[in-house]
Amino acid sequence: MTAFQKPVNFYGVHGVLFHLLCCLGLLPITAQAITTSAGDDVTNQQKIAALITALGDSDYATRESATQQLRTVADYAIDQLLDAANQSHDLEVALRSQWILETVSLTGPDDPPEVKVLLKNFSNRSLSQQISALSRLVRLENNIGVKPLARLIRTNRSESISYLAALVLLQEWQPNDPCWPNLTAQVPNELNASQRPAAMLIRYLTSFSRLADNPETKLDQKKNAFTEFEIAVKKFLEHLPFDKQAFGINTTRREVGDLAREIVVRCHARVAIQAEFPDRGIDVAKKLFDFITESGKKNSLATADVLFWASHSGLSSLCNSVPESLQKTFEDESLTLYAVASCEQANGNDVLAAEMAGRAFALSSDKTDQQMLAAIRLDHWGLVDWADREYQRVIASPKLSAQQIIPLSIQLAELLNDFDRCKEASAVLQQMLSGSHGTVKNIRVMDSLGYSKEALTARQKYFVSRSAQENGNRDRERRDLDEALEDYPEEIDTLIAYYHFPGLSSVDRSRIMTLIEKALRKLQQRIDQEPDAANSYNEYAWLVANTEGDLARATRYSKRSLELDFDSASFLDTLAHCYAADKNPKEAIRCQVVASRKDPGSNTIQKNLKKFLSMHK
């Protein structure tokens, strides 16, 4: 294929000629000047249409004149230029329109530096890099990246980029989201009246959300808005521009078109529920099963994921609509059966849910890999009792090595602590440290995995102190905190708990502040030595946000941790605490809402979200 020769550069030979003809008044006047100021919009649109027609004029000077005039008003003429580029039967008009569109900057004059950095050389990046940049735009502080994201939806020459930008925004929506109105405040104006499928989808979603989130909205209004949204969904899916494009690596590689359809279907189903069309929501959500069967694989993990999501999204009746071909996995894979049980639990059928969870537990009695997978996924969805039972069985298994059991034991302890079952959490770590896996050989394994026996011992005593606090035994709590710090003076949550302990004397306060400052110095040393290790940044920020110190640095470090480990729920929780400490509940809520989406089963994240919402009120 030969490349299209771009029209002559404005500053080239023909540019000089163009200027000369302008000065002499000899250019043909095929179109009048366009103004982007408020005025007669119809007249302006007619002038733009005339200029676009002139792009194919037989006279070269007329074509050049129209090209240059359209360049100066390209932002205003974007919709008509896109139509011409994609639909004109005049090759000259189509090619010149494409070139004009390519000259439109991805960034605006008022865009902040963070936006310009993310969009620099955007068109030359790989698909994965483009998706990453778009995803990071929507995370920028104070929503400064959302306006440029909406601009890409409307103005970018590539239909694929327009769609990807819309999908990024679409994933941010959920019913009654306290952050959505602020997030999308500038989106309608930026999209204007664009008829691009991606623009229409986002415009009708924001319109529906504004009505549906308002308790004063009448049911008919809500349903009409839902109907308009469904029309936009249909158009969006009919014109998906992705042709076998894929991103990711190895087992995580996915076709973009498949992922796009899945994102849209999940949003569509939840919109139907909020519009009070529950049957329609189930009908839409059933398409998620079609995607699984279309792949030719009876993927039990994918089936389970759909059902767990449904149980958390007001669509728990979806468990009654699993295709027969996928129901067979219920008898082979415990995780799928657990997912159905979670739906039944959400439906209020506790007895049936318990019975099904019991069958799921028995189903994998001799399958350690299924037990580990079930424990981790049940943990993710906050099904703590079922997860606890699976974890306990796994860490007691003679089939697993210490390298496998030690991380799983720590994960179980943290899950139990998250749900305030602190005594049980301490017992799990105690067993790991002093039981069969606490031998000298296995302590070496801990070191090789990056775990310090001293740090884990302090963590175990911190859990004991929390248990004492829950029982109202402040003296015992204080002793346990002291013992934890004796074992490991840098145990961060212990330092935070001690800092907030009521009635500390000035001497004790000074001692704790000295320990906090030492811990921060050590964390800084680790950051200096390993500048690309996310956890050190996060720990520094967490300690300062919950005690005292250089809050500006802590916030900067927290953001850095998220650059290195994008959308980590625990790191988002830390950044939310940095904002809260800086008396910025609005940004704290924004981060915490995303954290709750990324880790839907975390009890602590949900509690913190409620705390930040109460601060804002």
Domain shared by 66 and 208, yes or no: no
User: Which residues, in sequence order, are CB contacts of 182 under 8 Å at separation 6+?
Assistant: 143, 586, 590
User: Which residues, in sequence order, are CB contacts of 504 under 8 Å at separation 6+?
Assistant: 498, 512
250 or 431, higher pLDDT: 431
The total of structural domains in the chain comes to 3
Average confidence score pLDDT of the chain = 89
What is the mean predicted confidence (pLDDT) over 439-465? 87
Res 12: pLDDT: 36
**Is 614 inside a domain boundary?**
yes
Is the model's pLDDT at 159 over the cut of 80?
yes
Secondary structure letter of residue 296 according to DSSP = T
Domain shared by 83 and 51, yes or no: yes
**Is 2 inside a domain boundary?**
no
Neighbour tally for 98: CB within 10 Å: 18
Is the model's pLDDT at 6 over the cut of 50?
no
Secondary structure letter of residue 437 according to DSSP = G
**Is 492 inside a domain boundary?**
no
∠ CA 181-75-136, rounded to 5°: 45
pLDDT band (50, 70, 90) for residue 87: confident
Domain shared by 550 and 594, yes or no: yes
Domain shared by 170 and 281, yes or no: yes
Is the model's pLDDT at 563 over the cut of 50?
yes
From 70, 102, 134, give the residue that closes a domain: 102
Per-residue pLDDT tens digits for 372-400: 999 999 999 999 999 999 999 999 998 88
**Is 163 inside a domain boundary?**
yes
Domain shared by 163 and 243, yes or no: yes
Domain shared by 190 and 278, yes or no: yes
**Is 579 inside a domain boundary?**
yes
Res 444: pLDDT: 81
Res 40: pLDDT: 57
Neighbour tally for 3: CB within 10 Å: 5
∠ CA 326-327-330, rounded to 5°: 115
Neighbour tally for 127: CB within 10 Å: 16
Neighbour tally for 556: CB within 10 Å: 14
Closest CA to 155 of 94, 103, 92, 231: 103
Is the model's pLDDT at 53 over the cut of 50?
yes
Domain shared by 227 and 130, yes or no: yes
Reduced 3-state DSSP string for 140-188: CHHHCCHHHHHHHHHHCCCHHHHHHHHHHHHHHCCCCCCCHHHHCCCHH
* CA–CA gap between residue 293 and residue 300 (Å, rounded): 11
Instruction: Tell me the sheet residues that pair with 254.
Output: 247
Q: Does residue 328 contact residue 297 with C-beta atoms inside 8 Å?
A: no
Torsion sign across C-alpha atoms 342, 348, 350, 353: negative
pLDDT band (50, 70, 90) for residue 449: confident
Domain shared by 166 and 61, yes or no: no
Per-residue pLDDT tens digits for 26-35: 334 343 455 5
**Is 1 inside a domain boundary?**
no
**Is 358 inside a domain boundary?**
no
The secondary structure element, H or E, covering residue 246 is strand 246-247
User: Which residues, in sequence order, are CB contacts of 409 under 8 Å at separation 6+?
Assistant: 391, 395, 428, 429, 431, 432, 437
Per-residue pLDDT tens digits for 404-442: 999 999 999 999 999 999 999 999 999 998 865 555 567
> Coil, strand or helix: which one is 311?
helix
* CA–CA gap between residue 515 and residue 585 (Å, rounded): 29
Is the model's pLDDT at 606 over the cut of 60?
yes
Q: Which two tokens stand for residue 486?
A: 């004796």
* CA–CA gap between residue 520 and residue 542 (Å, rounded): 10
CATH code where residue 596 lies: 1.25.40.10
What is the mean predicted confidence (pLDDT) over 508-532? 97
Res 41: pLDDT: 62
585 is in which domain, residue-wise? 527-617
* CA–CA gap between residue 271 and residue 177 (Å, rounded): 12
Is the model's pLDDT at 446 over the cut of 80?
yes
Q: Does residue 605 contact residue 571 with C-beta atoms inside 8 Å?
A: no
Q: Which two tokens stand for residue 570?
A: 């625990």
Crossing angle of helices 350-363 and 384-395, rounded to 10°? 20
Report percent pLDDT > 70 for the chain: 89
**Is 202 inside a domain boundary?**
yes
What is the mean predicted confidence (pLDDT) over 5-22? 36
Domain shared by 608 and 561, yes or no: yes
Res 516: pLDDT: 98
103 or 302, higher pLDDT: 302
Q: Which two tokens stand for residue 207?
A: 């319109």
Q: Where are the beta strands (DSSP E) in 425-507?
A: none
Is the model's pLDDT at 209 over the cut of 60?
yes
Q: Does residue 47 contact residue 29 with C-beta atoms inside 8 Å?
A: no
Domain shared by 60 and 161, yes or no: no
From 247, 267, 285, give the residue that closes a domain: 285
Domain shared by 33 and 72, yes or no: yes
Domain shared by 576 and 542, yes or no: yes
From 270, 285, 300, give the residue that closes a domain: 285
Q: Which two tokens stand for residue 32?
A: 């009048």
Q: Which two tokens stand for residue 410?
A: 């720590």
- DSSP conformation letters of 246-277: EES-GGG-EEHHHHHHHHHHHHHHHHHHHTT-
The secondary structure element, H or E, covering residue 255 is strand 254-255
Res 36: pLDDT: 46
